[in-house]
């Protein structure tokens, strides 16, 4: 349920090769920057402009003048990076994505059609196809005691070996406004998170998260 094959449509990202030979999505976090540089050098100059150090932007993407983009970074076709967005580096922004006003990205993969449109922080995370984070919702990517992050799935604890780990959102995940996704959060595909939620651990696919002790299956 929390493996790459269960959560993501790899034909919906320019970064499909990044996920090959890996089981869990967080295993890509250490390799995003290196992958971007390698892939960027292969992108067609007829389709992508190279701007500055290791920043490739599709010619049909819309990037507002006040947006800040640091490399390594790839912004794919028809994506929109709005006013005052802050992309700190190691970011892949997929086709038709929206990175909105005052949204900050760092060490992330956004699959195609992802929307982080209003005051979001997304760090050390992977957001699947057509996932959406409501206004003010954020990923918290470092534990307060600075220890390594574990993923808690029922009674099982999976050691990640990572100090920084935000959230893994599967395809078609909806996160409600002003929610906090704590370090090590994994949300299965087609699930919804209520607004103002504090999420930790694994939320199964096809679920509605109301609060920690109230997660219900979606009705068909």
At a CB cut-off of 8 Å and minimum separation 6, what does 81 contact?
A: 61, 62, 63, 64, 67, 69, 75, 87, 93, 99
Structure-derived torsion over alpha carbons of residues 51, 42, 100, 176, reported in degrees to the nearest 10: -160
Q: What's the rounded Cα separation, in Å, for the pair 107 and 127?
A: 12
**Phi and psi torsions of 84, nearest 5°:** 65, 20
pTM, full prediction: 0.96
Structure-derived torsion over alpha carbons of residues 1, 185, 207, 170, reported in degrees to the nearest 10: -60
For domain 4-205, which architecture applies? 3 Solenoid (2.160)
- Tally helices (H) and strands (E) across the chain: 2, 25
Residue range 143-169, pLDDT digits in tens: 999 999 999 988 889 999 999 999 999
Nearest partner of 106 among 65, 166, 63, 66, judged by Cα: 166
In the three-class reduction of DSSP (H, G, I as helix; E, B as strand; rest coil), residue 209 is classed as strand
Residue range 76-98, pLDDT digits in tens: 999 999 999 999 999 999 999 99
State the pLDDT at residue 24. 97
Mean pLDDT score of the chain: 97
Let me know: does 52 contact 66? Beta carbons within 8 Å.
no
Residue 220 has pLDDT above 90, yes or no: no
State the pLDDT at residue 1. 84
Residue spans of the domains in the chain: they are 4-205
């Amino acid at each position: 349920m929390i493996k790459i094959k269960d959560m993501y449509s790899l034909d919906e990202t320019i970064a499909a090769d990044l996920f090959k030979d890996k089981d869990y999505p967080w295993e890509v976090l250490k390799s995003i920057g290196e992958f971007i540089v390698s892939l960027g050098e292969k992108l067609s100059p007829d389709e992508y402009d190279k701007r500055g150090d290791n920043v490739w932007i599709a010619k049909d993407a819309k990037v507002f003048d006040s947006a800040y983009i640091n490399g390594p970074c790839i912004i794919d076709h028809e994506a929109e990076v709005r006013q005052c967005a802050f992309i700190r580096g190691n970011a892949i922004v997929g086709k038709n994505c929206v990175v909105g006003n005052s949204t900050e990205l760092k060490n992330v993969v956004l699959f195609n059609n992802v929307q982080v449109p209003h005051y979001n922080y997304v760090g050390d995370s992977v957001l699947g196809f057509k996932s959406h984070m409501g206004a003010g919702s954020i990923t918290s990517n470092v534990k307060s005691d600075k220890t390594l992050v574990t993923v808690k799935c029922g009674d099982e604890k999976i050691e990640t070996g990572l100090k920084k780990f935000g959230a893994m959102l599967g395809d078609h995940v909806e996160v409600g406004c002003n929610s906090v996704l704590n370090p090590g959060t994994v949300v299965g595909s087609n699930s919804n998170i209520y607004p103002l939620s504090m999420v930790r651990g694994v939320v199964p696919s096809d679920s509605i998260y109301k609060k920690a002790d109230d997660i219900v299956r979606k009705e068909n």
